[in-house]
Amino acid sequence: MKEKIMIIGAAGQIGSELTVALREIYGSRRVFATDIKQASPEVMDGGPFQILDVMNDKMLIHFVIQNKITQIYHLAAVLSGNAEKFPTQAWRINMESLMNILEVARMVETVHRVFWPSSIAVFGPTTPHKNTPQLTVMEPTTVYGISKLAGERWCAYFNKKHDLDIRSIRYPGLISYKTEAGGGTTDYAVEVYFKANKNKRYECFISENTKMPFLFMPDAIDATIKLMQADRKYISIHSGYNIGGLTLAPIDFYHEIKRVIPEFEMTYKPDFREDIARTWPESIDGSTATKDWGFEVKYDLTAMTDIMFEEIRKKYGE
């Protein structure tokens, strides 16, 4: 089957890179990028791009029918930090947008597969903190986490009730150089590289030793594509797959960045995001994802740091 793929949230941190990767695989004309705002020139000029609001269900269904879309990647969301500032709006945006996608996928015959990102935020303070299992206690205490857990249950429901092939990953903090993250608790791990390069110093909003799980964006893109290309018979999880990654605290980034920029200095001023971070796991058991569809981590902290500085310096200089 010739796929026709729609990306919602193509201007975002994941969308901007996933769009390019999918266009390389499926051809630029077959990957339709959409967002409520303008995306990077690479995304907007590299294939079809349209301004589209996923909250507008009529516009959404019209687009999907008109372009005979076969797969949808719905990546738009309000992340953990911002969701705490605007709880009702975040709940509405995160949940209604997902419901719109599930309904469109159920109603439009051409759509045979959907990707929706979950997050490590589905876990909470009562979850085992280390090597968190796929199936475990889930009592999130953030608005974002509650919306992701509810979303996972809706995905599993649509799979069972309507046989919808919807796939999901519980992403850890993602580190990338193309598009900065926005409004998340793990964002410090992206900011620190940009600030280190520009100012040689960074004030971190997470305390020195608070560990969280992370992944370099190329590994996250690779995982997403692997999951979406896997034969349906191997998919055993219809909520969200745990994936393993790197367990890192701000102090680890500090030492690693000092290797490249010896004069780099980091200070700490933890804010409300520190409280969020403390409720999340520090490491994840991703063995089900590895068994079902071959998830693997290729980049460690050192390899990632070298690429981050190489790319940031290409764009902004030293």
Q: Which residues, 276 to 305, sit near ligand AKB by CB under 6 A?
A: none
Q: Does 120 bind ligand AKB (CB under 6 A)?
A: yes
User: Would you list the DSSP string of 252-297?
Assistant: HHHHHHHHH-TT-EEEE---HHHHHHHHS-SSB--HHHHHHH----
Do 185 and 80 touch, CB atoms closer than 8 A? yes
Q: Which two tokens stand for residue 142?
A: 């953030």
Q: Which range binds ligand AKB by CB under 6 A, 100-108, 179-187, 251-259, 290-298?
A: 179-187
Burial class (CB in 10 A: 0-12, 13-18, 19+), 258: middle
Query: What string marks each residue from 27 to 66 as x (binds ligand AKB by CB under 6 A) or -?
Result: ----------------------------------------
Out of 147, 168, 186, 305, the only residue in the binding site for ligand AKB (CB under 6 A) is: 186
Q: Apex CA 212: angle with CA 77 and CA 272, to 5°?
A: 65
In the complex, least distance from residue 138 CB atom to ligand AKB, rounded to whole angstroms: 14
Q: Does 189 bind ligand AKB (CB under 6 A)?
A: no
Binding residue for ligand AKB (CB under 6 A) from 12, 173, 245, 250?
A: 173
Which range binds ligand AKB by CB under 6 A, 48-56, 68-76, 114-122, 193-201?
114-122
Place of tokens 């490249």: 260
Q: Which amino acid is at 6?
A: M
CB of 184 to ligand AKB, least distance (A): 3
Q: How far apart are CA 64 and CA 105, in angstroms?
A: 9
If binding is defined by CB under 6 A, does position 70 make contact with ligand AKB?
Answer: no
Q: Binder to ligand AKB among 49, 63, 115, 171 (CB under 6 A)?
A: 171
What minimum distance in Å lies between the beta carbon of 288 and ligand AKB? 19
Among 10, 79, 220, 243, binds ligand AKB (CB under 6 A): 79
Instruction: Find, among 189, 315, 203, the residue nearest to 269 by Cα.
Output: 203
- 48 residue type, one letter: P
Choices 87-95, 105-113, 180-188, 250-258; region in contact with ligand AKB by CB under 6 A: 180-188
Candidates 32-40, 97-105, 183-191, 219-227 — which segment interacts with ligand AKB by CB under 6 A? 183-191
Taking the complex as a whole, how short is the minimal distance between the CB of residue 173 and ligand AKB, in angstroms? 5
Tokens of 38: 């303008």
Q: How many CB atoms lie within 10 A of CB 16?
A: 23
Pick between residue 205 and residue 264 the one whose CB is nearest to ligand AKB: 205
Scanning the chain, the segments in alpha helix (DSSP H) are 15-26, 41-45, 57-66, 80-85, 87-107, 143-162, 188-199, 217-229, 250-260, 272-279, 287-293, 301-316
Give the active site residues: 144
Q: Give min distance, CB of 243 to ligand AKB, in A.
A: 12
Q: Which residues bind ligand AKB (CB under 6 A)?
A: 79-80, 119-121, 144, 171, 173, 184-186
